[in-house]
């Protein structure tokens, strides 16, 4: 499957180099620009399969571009491509609708795999950021969100319990084992949780859970 990528990054040499690397791997960069406003216009005009978006840019930064694209109603996947492994940047990007948070020094082949996964609907965070994400999920980093109305009010007790386990980074399989229910049942609950919280991925749901101090009080270190 040939992917059509829009690249928005203010470093010309980086853009040119990345275009070449992706082209060798059968991925077409249909447009490559260094300006956020221009990037928003091209996203609307070209409808790429995926957008690679630099986090740090002069003028309108990556988060500003991301939010503008999302508020214009475009739903194609967007991956942040950045040198920043800052926890708040990661949380802000995922909360603003990014499906990927990739670090610029990753291997080209890993980037290609990540792009294909993102287009297939997965949320991908660079492997190097797994410890950062774990810290976020463990609640060491809490977003500066005010204690607004309880986002979990609509969840059933079972859904709240599953969200707490999900916030610990457990897979559907592990949650199913822990609660003694089937994978399929967990999947249905997770779907309902995402819908009720108005988010698109497990990672976003976990981030919200952590920001509001919801974590399942499960003793770690025990074996199943």
Summarize pLDDT for 129-181 with one digit per residue, the tens. Answer: 766 666 665 554 444 444 345 778 888 889 999 998 988 888 889 999 999 99
Full-model pTM? 0.62
Confirm if 204 and 94 have CB atoms less than 8 A apart: yes
**Do 3 and 27 touch, CB atoms closer than 8 A?**
yes
Q: Which domains does the chain have, with CATH numbers?
A: 3-126 (3.40.50.2300), 145-224 (1.10.10.10)
Is the pLDDT at 224 greater than 80? The verdict is no
More confident of the two residues 95 and 16: 16
């Amino acid at each position: 499957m040939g992917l059509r990528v829009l690249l928005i990054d203010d470093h010309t040499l980086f853009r040119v180099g990345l275009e070449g690397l992706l082209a060798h791997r059968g991925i077409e960069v249909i447009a490559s620009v260094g300006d956020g406003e221009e990037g928003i216009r091209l996203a609307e005009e070209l409808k790429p399969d995926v957008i690679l978006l630099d986090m740090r840019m002069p003028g309108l930064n990556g988060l500003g571009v991301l939010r503008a694209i999302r508020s214009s109603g475009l739903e194609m996947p967007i991956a942040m491509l950045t040198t920043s492994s800052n926890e708040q940047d990661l949380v802000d990007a995922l909360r603003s609708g990014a499906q990927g948070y990739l670090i610029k020094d990753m291997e080209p082949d890993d980037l290609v795999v990540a792009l294909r996964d993102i287009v297939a609907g997965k949320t991908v965070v660079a492997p190097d950021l797994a410890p950062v994400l774990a810290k976020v999920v463990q609640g060491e980093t809490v977003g500066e969100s005010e204690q607004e109305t309880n986002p979990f009010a609509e969840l059933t007790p079972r859904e709240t319990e599953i969200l707490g386990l999900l916030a610990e980074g457990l897979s559907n399989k592990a949650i199913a084992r822990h609660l003694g229910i089937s994978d399929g049942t967990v999947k249905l609950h997770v779907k309902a949780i995402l819908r009720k919280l108005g988010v698109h991925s497990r990672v976003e749901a976990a981030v919200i859970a952590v920001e509001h101090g919801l974590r399942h009080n499960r003793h770690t270190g025990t074996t199943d």
